[in-house]
Amino acid sequence: MLSQKSIRVNFLIKLTTAMAVLLLLFSTILYNYITYSVDKELESMLVKHAKYLFTTHPDVNEALSKHGDSLKQTLNIEAKIIYFPKSQYQPMHIRKYKKKDKYFIELLFPYNFQNQTYLSVSSNVTEQKKVQQHVYNAMIFINLIGMGIIILYAYFLSGVMTRHIRVLAQKLSKRNENMMKPINAYEFPQEFEPLAASVNALIMRIQNFIKYKKELFIGAAHELKTPLAVMKTKTQVTLMKKKITEEDLKTALRQNIISIDEMDKIISSILEFGRAEGAQFEIPQDIDVIAFLREKANDYRLLADSKKQNFITDLQPVSYVIHLQPMLLTHIVQNFIQNAFKFTPSGKTIWLKSYPQDTLLIIEVIDEGSGIDEQKDLFAPFERTKNSGGVGLGLFLAKSAANAMGASLELVNRSDGQGTIARLILQKRPYCKL
> For residue 306, is it within any domain?
yes
Verify that 255 and 312 share a domain, yes or no. Answer: no
The DSSP symbol for 178 reads T
314-347: per-residue pLDDT in tens? 999 999 998 888 888 888 888 888 888 888 888 8
Domain with 12 in it: what CATH number?
3.30.450
> For residue 311, is it within any domain?
yes
Indicate the number of domains in the chain: 3
Mean pLDDT of 234-241: 82
Verify that 269 and 295 share a domain, yes or no. Answer: no
Residue that is last in its domain, among 279, 296, 327: 279
How far apart are alpha carbons 424 and 411 in whole angstroms?
9
Verify that 389 and 408 share a domain, yes or no. Answer: yes
401-417: per-residue pLDDT in tens? 787 778 889 888 988 88
Residue that is last in its domain, among 102, 125, 145: 145
> For residue 88, is it within any domain?
yes
Average pLDDT, the chain: 78
Q: Are strands 102-112 and 408-413 parallel, antiparallel or unpaired?
A: unpaired
> For residue 384, is it within any domain?
yes
CA torsion, points 19, 22, 24, 26, in degrees to nearest 10? -140
Contact 307, 341 (CB under 8 A): yes
167-214: per-residue pLDDT in tens? 777 777 777 666 677 777 677 767 677 777 777 777 777 776 677 677
Q: Which residues pair with 432 in a beta bridge?
A: 320
User: What is the predicted pLDDT for the residue at 269?
Assistant: 65
13-22, 97-106, 209-218: range with lowest mean pLDDT? 209-218
246-291: per-residue pLDDT in tens? 888 888 888 888 888 878 877 776 676 666 555 555 677 888 999 9
Verify that 289 and 374 share a domain, yes or no. Answer: yes
Burial 109-128 (b: 16+ CB within 10 A, else e): bebeeeebbbbbbbbbbeeb
> For residue 152, is it within any domain?
no
Verify that 139 and 22 share a domain, yes or no. Answer: yes
Verify that 56 and 12 share a domain, yes or no. Answer: yes
Burial class (CB in 10 A: 0-12, 13-18, 19+), 223: buried
Task: Using alpha carbons, select from 104, 45, 54 the residue that is nearest to residue 75.
Answer: 45
Contact 8, 159 (CB under 8 A): yes
How far apart are alpha carbons 327 and 272 in whole angstroms?
13
Verify that 198 and 223 share a domain, yes or no. Answer: yes
Residue 187 makes CB contacts below 8 A (sequence gap 6+) with 167
Confidence of residue 433 (pLDDT cuts 50, 70, 90): very low
Domain with 429 in it: what CATH number?
3.30.565.10
Verify that 308 and 421 share a domain, yes or no. Answer: yes
Domain that holds residue 134: 4-145
Verify that 292 and 320 share a domain, yes or no. Answer: yes
Residue that is last in its domain, among 279, 296, 317: 279
pTM: 0.49
Residue 17 has pLDDT above 70, yes or no: yes
> For residue 160, is it within any domain?
no
Verify that 261 and 310 share a domain, yes or no. Answer: no
> For residue 193, is it within any domain?
yes
Is 89 or 159 the better-scoring residue by pLDDT? 159
Residue 259 makes CB contacts below 8 A (sequence gap 6+) with 227, 228, 230, 231
> For residue 151, is it within any domain?
no
Domain with 227 in it: what CATH number?
1.10.287
The DSSP symbol for 179 reads B
User: What is the predicted pLDDT for the residue at 351?
Assistant: 92
